[in-house]
Amino acid sequence: MDVTYLLILLLAGAFVTYFSGDKAAPKVALFFGLASLGVSVYLLNLYNAGQDINFSCPWITKPNIAFALTADGLSMAMILLTTALTPIIILSGFGNQFKNAKSIYALILFMSFAMAGTFLASDGLLYYIFWELSLIPIYFIALIWGNGDAEERKKAVVKFFIYTFAGSLFMLTAFVYLYQKAGSLLIEDLYKLDLSANEQLWIFAAFFLAYAIKIPIIPFHTWQANVYQKAPTMGTMLLSGIMLKMGLYSVIRWQLPIAPFAAKEYKDILIVLGIAGVIYGSILALRQKNLKKLLAYSSLAHVGLIAAGAYALNADGLNGAVLQMIAHGFVVVGLFFAAEIIYRRFETRTISEMGGIRLQAPKFTSMFMILVLASVALPSTFNFVGEFTVLYSLSHVHVMYAVFGGTTIILGAYYMLKMFQQVMLGDVSKKRNAFADINATEAIVMVSIIGILFFFGMYPKPITDLIAPSIENIVSHINR
């Protein structure tokens, strides 16, 4: 078995879900989501056993393009993140009644297919195709099933589409130039290129525009909060939990090894931009009155720190960035799901209109509190492992980078605990409906996420061992 089976399964799942009808679509989608997770775990076992699970064959003659999929430790880690979160996201939607449900669940599986392809592709053009394909389903998910005023939602989604598509065109231009130099877009051939300093600067800049918008890194973040707020919660989970990781992964996989001189030349500027995102996102989160928007800016702060770790250009920074990508994926999906549970009961996302939930729903309160503490990197949670490793790596570049980067923990604790106090504590409002405690389906989603956060927070070795060879290879290309 090779990795193409996973992509075929996800793509087939999207088609079967669509033709299964609205009533059966959620269960069919969940089945294919769980099946893809099972296949990913099986492929991981084959990979660990030393078997070749890569796939490559000639695809286009002129230009010379291969349909090449490569699964190393780094890509396998991202595939596991994608296929673990996909069934969780699908299951989280079981409490909602969607018009034309077959379409939204089919689009979720199709988006998972495209994102998995992005993480596996080792030919530049194939990677670009998967990268762009992932944009199509989230555009329709946010536009058709989103929240709020239709006209405002349309503006937010179109802005997101134009921003990300425009950035991707710069990346495509870079690939065209690289093909002229190498005669191939296979990643191993691009790694071998001996580009001049000036060539590297332009290639790096072209990649940076695509990735900075997708992550997002300030000042390319202006689309993010509105889209996160306007998208349905399942769409927000896909965006924050997996899709933004495509940009961070691509920085490590494509940008840094191909243009290492430029990465070193701009290292300090890029780290400062990442840390600025930490502080800026945290300050904006403090001012938010809408719960989803607060979590959106919280996400902006966390990914700023991840980007700073990646651009530290050392093994600890890259390891910490990958660990934090995975940890953030799970915790942010859990937080957005908690916000969705509150919306289902109270039918509001305004923080000032909440309160008194602890007295009515102690189980939900406990789970929500664990997710809040995980998001602020409480020791023994997965986020602590990632953030500590990133801050440690930044201290090797300059101790002040670690000091200012560490504000994500201080500011995060302040705005997240303040939010928890306003949302969960206090007296029961007579203006609100009774808040039923968490049900079985919601509990499965929350407990699954919490279990993963604690397990890898206490024992991250399986992931660090998985990604270590890939990170060492990438660092060797950066330092060449």
Helix, strand or coil, per DSSP, at residue 127: helix
List for the chain the helix, strand, coil content (%; round to 5): 75, 5, 20
Tell me the whole-structure pTM to 2 decimals.
Answer: 0.95
Amino acid in the structure at residue 80: L
Give percent of the chain above pLDDT 70: 99
The C-alpha atoms of residue 337 and residue 325 are separated, in whole angstroms, by 18
- Tokens 């449900």, located at residue: 101
Angle between helices 124-133 and 135-145 (to 10 degrees): 10
Helices first, then strands: H and E counts in the chain:
24, 2
**Torsional sign, CA 100, 103, 105, 111:** negative
Amino acid in the structure at residue 164: T
pLDDT at 125: 95
The C-alpha atoms of residue 438 and residue 289 are separated, in whole angstroms, by 24
**pLDDT, mean over the chain:** 93
| Average pLDDT rounded to a whole number, residues 217-243 | 91
The C-alpha atoms of residue 25 and residue 33 are separated, in whole angstroms, by 12
Confidence at 147, pLDDT banded by 50, 70, 90: confident
Residue 305 in this model has a pLDDT that exceeds 80: yes
The C-alpha atoms of residue 205 and residue 194 are separated, in whole angstroms, by 17
The C-alpha atoms of residue 198 and residue 259 are separated, in whole angstroms, by 10
To 5 degrees, how large is the angle CA 230–CA 346–CA 242?
A: 40
Surface-to-core class of residue 111, CB atoms within 10 Å of its CB (0-12 exposed, 13-18 middle, 19+ buried): buried
Half-sphere exposure of 249 (CA within 13 A, CB side): 31
Six token digits for residue 149: 């005023």
Distances (CA, A) of 464 to 15, 47, 245, 460: 36, 15, 17, 6
Nearest of 336, 353, 423, 280 to residue 93 by alpha carbon: 336
Tens digits of per-residue pLDDT, 195-209?
Answer: 999 999 999 999 999
Tell me the H-state helices in 216-255.
224-230, 233-238, 244-250
Six token digits for residue 299: 């996400």
The C-alpha atoms of residue 460 and residue 74 are separated, in whole angstroms, by 15
Helix, strand or coil, per DSSP, at residue 67: strand
The C-alpha atoms of residue 329 and residue 302 are separated, in whole angstroms, by 11
- Tokens 């909060």, located at residue: 225
β-bridge partners, 67 = 57
Residue 18 CB neighbour total at 10 angstroms: 20
Residue 163 in this model has a pLDDT that exceeds 80: yes
Amino acid in the structure at residue 115: M
Six token digits for residue 469: 């060879």
Tens digits of per-residue pLDDT, 62-109?
Answer: 888 999 999 999 999 999 999 999 999 999 999 888 999 999 999 999
Six token digits for residue 249: 């992964």
Residue 427 in this model has a pLDDT that exceeds 80: no
β-bridge partners, 290 = 350
Helix, strand or coil, per DSSP, at residue 39: helix
Half-sphere exposure of 370 (CA within 13 A, CB side): 20
Helix, strand or coil, per DSSP, at residue 63: coil
Residue 222 in this model has a pLDDT that exceeds 90: no
Surface-to-core class of residue 198, CB atoms within 10 Å of its CB (0-12 exposed, 13-18 middle, 19+ buried): exposed
pLDDT at 430: 63
- Tokens 């949670």, located at residue: 381
Integer Rg of the chain from CA:
21
The C-alpha atoms of residue 288 and residue 282 are separated, in whole angstroms, by 10
pLDDT at 198: 94
**Terminus-to-terminus CA distance in the chain, angstroms?**
35
- Tokens 């080792």, located at residue: 122
* Prior bond of 460 cis (ω within 30°): no
The C-alpha atoms of residue 409 and residue 378 are separated, in whole angstroms, by 9
pLDDT at 63: 87
pLDDT at 431: 60
